[in-house]
Amino acid sequence: MITRRDFMKFVGGGFASAMALGGYAFAFEPLARLNVTRYALTPPGWTPGLKLRVVALADIHACEPWVSASRIASICRQANDLGGDITVLLGDYATGMNFVTRYIHSSEWSKALAILQAPLGVHAVMGNHDWWEDKTAQRNGGGTTFAHRALSDVGINVYSNRAIRLEKDGRGFWLAGLEDQRALIAGKKWKRKHIQGLDDLDGTLAQVGDSDPVILLAHEPDIFPRVPTRVALTLSGHTHGGQVRFLGHSPMVPSRFGDRYAYGHVIEDDRTLIISGGLGCSIGPIRFGVPPEIVVVDLG
């Protein structure tokens, strides 16, 4: 028979555990952890002898206290030390969260991102929050956002349905960047039927002029079922790994495919996708089982 003392110990222990778990999820993992997640692969159709290291940052969601300008600068310095040939930014620089002590202006977070350096340059696409937080761009139904302009102003290459050819050691590859798939909202932003994309996959890939491999930057991974085998690697963010992840599964993922494209390395029909868990938080400042990360991909 359980005594009142034993019951109170049980309740007290459970409460203490819940407080510790909550403190970890709300404070330690979002603020104090930063992983470097590495992948090594040779996709089908990759050029023999072309060895390329890609460093990817996603979903910064700049705001205080969670991802301050100084924290962004620190992350960028660590990214530079990883020896990437090329650095890519996968969207969502602006925050979409109300639990903040201060919103960070685009001139501040872009200045921090300007620290990034790589021999083949730093290249960026937009995310949905970069569009959603720009009321002027929403009214115009397109054009450029403050995030487009802020990154361009500090010398970062910004892609909006554009592809360019790059070379390393005399071997070429293509970098293609899609405009966001959930850019424009009408009415209540959380109703999917009111969201319109500005992405043009076919038009972007039509710019690829030879048989060299293609790396595609697409903020949301939901485009992946439409990506042809012509693309060697698709890099995405957006999901944050679900922000809460248990035993390799995420209960809530902002994707119409659910956990299928929540996080990590996905191979389907000889097509390869890597989804970053990102750096910041959206909706609420919580992460559990999917700490902020810098992604490193070694190709070839």
For the chain, the domains span: 33-299
- Distance, in Å, from the CA atom of 267 to the CA atom of 52, rounded to the nearest integer, reads 19
Q: How confident is the model at residue 283 (pLDDT cuts 50, 70, 90)?
A: confident
Task: Give the 3-state secondary structure of residue 158.
Answer: strand
Whether 78 contacts 296, CB under 8 Å? no
For 141-155, write each residue's pLDDT tens digit: 999 999 999 999 999
pLDDT band at 47 (very low <50, low <70, confident <90, very high): very high
Q: Work out the pLDDT band at 292, boundaries 50, 70, 90.
A: very high
pLDDT of residue 24: 47
**Phi, psi angle pair for 44, to nearest 5°:** -55, 135
* pLDDT tens figures, 123-141: 999 999 999 999 999 999 9
Instruction: Of 232-241, 265-274, 275-284, give the lowest mean pLDDT range.
Output: 275-284
Whether the pLDDT of residue 31 is over 60: the answer is: no
What pLDDT, in 10s, does the model give residues 54-106? 999 999 999 999 999 999 999 999 999 999 999 999 999 999 888 899 999 99
Mean pLDDT for all residues in the chain: 89
Span of 20-34, 200-214, 226-240 with lowest mean pLDDT:
20-34
In this predicted model, what pLDDT tens digit does every residue of 171-198 receive, in sequence order? 999 999 999 999 999 865 555 458 999 9
* 193 backbone dihedrals φ, ψ, rounded to 5°: -65, -15
For residue 295, what are the β-bridge partners? 37, 56
Asked if 273 and 236 count as a contact pair (C-beta separation under 8 A), the reply is yes
- pLDDT-based confidence at residue 246 (cuts at 50, 70, 90): confident
Contact present, 173 and 52 (Cβ < 8 Å): yes
Give the closest residue to 180 by CA, choosing from 165, 159, 194, 206.
Answer: 159
Separation CA 221–CA 239 (nearest Å):
8
Residue 213 has pLDDT above 70, yes or no: yes
3-state secondary structure of 223: helix
- For range 252-278, the mean pLDDT: 96
- Which amino acid does the sequence have at 279? L
Residue 63 neighbours by CB under 8 Å, 6+ apart: 95, 97, 100, 101, 102, 103, 104, 280
Which residues, including other chains, have CB under 8 Å from residue 223's CB and lie 6 or more apart? 178, 181, 199, 201, 234, 236
Is residue 8 predicted with pLDDT exceeding 90?
A: no
- What is the predicted pLDDT for the residue at 11? 33
Distance CA 30, CA 33 (A): 7
pLDDT of residue 98: 84
The reported pLDDT for the residue numbered 193 is 54
Per cent of the chain over pLDDT 90 is 80
Q: Which fold has domain 33-299?
A: Purple Acid Phosphatase; chain A, domain 2 (3.60.21)
Q: Which ranges constitute the DSSP H helices of the chain?
A: 4-23, 29-32, 69-80, 106-113, 128-132, 135-140, 146-153, 201-205
- CA distances 70 to 112, 116, 177, Å, are 7, 14, 27
